[in-house]
Amino acid sequence: MRWSVADRVRARSRGLTLVEMSLAIMVLGLVAVSVVTIFGAASDLVEEGRGRAELTQAGRAAMNRLLAELRMTVGIEGRSDDYLRVFCEGTTSMATISRRVTFWVEDGTLWRRVEGEEAQALAEDVTGLRTGGLTLWSTLDGVTSVTSPEVGPAGYFANFSAWRMVYFATGFWSDAGSGRRAVFPTEGVLDNACGTMEFWLKPDFSAQWRGADQDKYLIDTEDGGEKIVLFFDHSARELKFRVSGKEVKWEPTWAPGAVVHVALVWDCTGRAIGGGRTVALYVNGMLCEASAQTGTWSAQPFGAYFCLSQTYGAEAEAAFDNLRVYDYCKTDFRDRYKEDALGLMRVELTLESPDGSETLTLENGVWLQ
């Protein structure tokens, strides 16, 4: 049967059939569900973005407050995970400041307290505060500077102690046959991955006048782990610095009794010193080496202790002054003339959102006075 034009017009005028209406409602329902799903997903993304932005904002505000305080730091009095105590001095437009300040993390909050005042909450959702930089500072001008150093863990003496004028004041002295050593723990002080050790030295030997017929160990580590060694090779007339089997050597140009500044720098990756170096020796602020050492290694713990000098038959035949150790690579030693230079303090702050969905770690550093 063929429909005429009039028949088709009359059919359209009757509207949708029941089947057509049901199909239309079903399609509308599916579209509505899709819209709700898309809207919900978009809302989740917005909330997620807002949560991270708020966490970042809170973290940056806390970090800026920390760094502002640390710029006035003249002494580090205590440091561990989630804890830092410093002494600050400085002058502002309002007054001269002299105060002891403690920072710590407790129950997800970063706190600050000036001695004698109430504690202040700097930021919430904080799960960790870590600081680095100077790990050991011993002026080496007397017994208590070793047994209770200015920064870092206590050391001790083997075969008593002796002292001799070096640069800032008297320094620890180990002459031939004495067996004298100053010993410090490596835990929390020396990192095999990278670091710096610096000190003033007054050697009783030179490449031309070699002193006692023996090698002279200036720095050594106990057995039971990776080694860090600085020694004068008597037969080769060379100063050799070695970390984890990687070595640089140099023929010293100083005269016996001269006072020189020595710095040891290492980085197992070869990225932090320059020129791909993994081991570097500096004397009086200058890089000294027969050739560059670029061999890398996998970081492992050092032995439990490191020593200034060694036992009988390998004494330093030198005096040491103002030992400083850092957990980063330092290559600029213009501050060596300042006994209390503290170098760079690194700060790491970790925050976590209340629901645990977001974690943020901020890192920064500030040069201390």
Q: pLDDT for 57-97, tens place per residue?
A: 888 998 998 898 899 998 898 888 999 999 999 887 778 88
Tell me the β-bridge partners of 121: 111
> Residue 26: which pLDDT band, with cuts at 50, 70 and 90?
low
Average pLDDT (111-138) is 93
- The pLDDT assigned to 58 comes to 86
How far is 278 from 275, CA to CA, in rounded Å?
9
> Residue 31: which pLDDT band, with cuts at 50, 70 and 90?
very low
- The pLDDT assigned to 22 comes to 56
- The pLDDT assigned to 175 comes to 95
User: Considering the chain, what is the average pLDDT of its residues?
Assistant: 88
Chain mean position to CA 154: 20
Count of C-beta atoms within a 10 Å radius of residue 10: 11
- Inter-residue contact 362 to 59 (CB < 8 Å): yes
- The pLDDT assigned to 299 comes to 96
The pLDDT tens digits of the residues spanning 206-228 come to 999 999 999 999 999 987 899 99
Tell me the β-bridge partners of 349: 129, 362
β-bridge pairing 305-308 and 216-221: antiparallel
Domain residue spans in the chain? Answer: 1-124, 134-342
Inform me whether the pLDDT recorded for 49 exceeds 80: no
Inform me whether the pLDDT recorded for 8 exceeds 60: no
- The pLDDT assigned to 28 comes to 52
The pLDDT tens digits of the residues spanning 301-332 come to 999 999 999 988 899 999 999 999 999 999 99
Inform me whether the pLDDT recorded for 21 exceeds 60: no
- Inter-residue contact 70 to 103 (CB < 8 Å): no
- Inter-residue contact 295 to 280 (CB < 8 Å): no
Sequence letter at residue 14: R
How far is 5 from 239, CA to CA, in rounded Å?
110
Residue of 339, 77, 150, 277 lying closest to 87 (CA atoms): 77
Q: Cα(first)–Cα(last) distance of the chain, in Å?
A: 102
Inform me whether the pLDDT recorded for 173 exceeds 90: yes
Here the tokens at position 68 are: 């502002």
How far is 261 from 252, CA to CA, in rounded Å?
12
Average pLDDT (148-155) is 95
- Inter-residue contact 319 to 337 (CB < 8 Å): no
In our burial notation (b when 16+ CB lie closer than 10 A, e otherwise), range 80-111 reads eebebbbebeeeeeeeeeeeebbbbbeeeebb
Here the tokens at position 276 are: 């791909």
Which residues make Cβ contacts (< 8 Å) with residue 154, sequence separation at least 6? 146, 147, 148
- The pLDDT assigned to 65 comes to 87
How many CA within 13 A on the CB side of residue 101? 21
How far is 86 from 70, CA to CA, in rounded Å?
8
Inform me whether the pLDDT recorded for 273 exceeds 80: yes
- The pLDDT assigned to 40 comes to 52
> Residue 9: which pLDDT band, with cuts at 50, 70 and 90?
very low
- The pLDDT assigned to 33 comes to 46
Domain 134-342's class?
mainly beta
pTM, 2 dp: 0.81
- DSSP classification of residue 151: B
Tell me the β-bridge partners of 102: 85, 113
- The pLDDT assigned to 10 comes to 52
> Residue 159: which pLDDT band, with cuts at 50, 70 and 90?
confident
- Inter-residue contact 299 to 268 (CB < 8 Å): yes
Inform me whether the pLDDT recorded for 34 exceeds 80: no
